[in-house]
Amino acid sequence: MNLKSEFLDAMSKLISSVHIVTTDGSFGKAGATVSSVTSVSVDSNSPTILCCLHKDSTAAPLIIKNKCFCINTLKNNQKEVANVFSTRGSDNTDSKFQVSIFESLTTGAPVLSDCLISLDCRLLSSELIGTHHVLIGEVQNLKTQPGLPLLYGNRGYVS
């Protein structure tokens, strides 16, 4: 039994919304496509949320240094945005942000103007666990729009 490959296969069967996580600040601008996002708590003064980024992501160290990020949940017609931001290790950040219109809310992290949900967060904590940075953010502002989420499962987009 190869536990790693069996675990990866099992996890691929989970259906997740697709998000791009973005940051901007004095340390630079970056973004990455992620599927690992979950709420942590709504019982404090501000809600908290968790997301995971691969350690090789160019966005992770900038999020940690900028101390802010925005989780932008994509609509089902935004596969192109997901694909553009999924390129690991790409140094051409400016071209990624040309794929759509971005604005900002409270922290200065880029907010995708036409996405389903945008959660603008101040970074509370980060920890490298295995191959991924686990980031916890305190929601400072948010924006929602009508629509359906872009879903990912079985190693592809799901309708």
User: For residue 138, what is the enclosing H or E element?
Assistant: strand 132-144
Res. 89 pLDDT band, cuts 50 70 90: very low
In angstroms, the CA 60 to CA 40 distance is: 19
Mean pLDDT, rounded, for 29-55:
93
CB contact set of 101 (below 8 Å; sequence gap of 6+): 112, 113, 114
Q: Which fold, 14-158?
A: Pnp Oxidase; Chain A (2.30.110)
Domain limits, the chain: 14-158
Query: Contacts for 33-40 with beta carbons within 8 Å, 24 or more apart?
Result: 33/82, 33/83, 33/85, 33/86, 35/152, 36/132, 37/71, 37/73, 40/136
Global pTM reads 0.92
In angstroms, the CA 77 to CA 153 distance is: 16
pLDDT digits (tens, 9 = 90+) for 122-150: 999 999 999 999 999 999 999 999 999 99
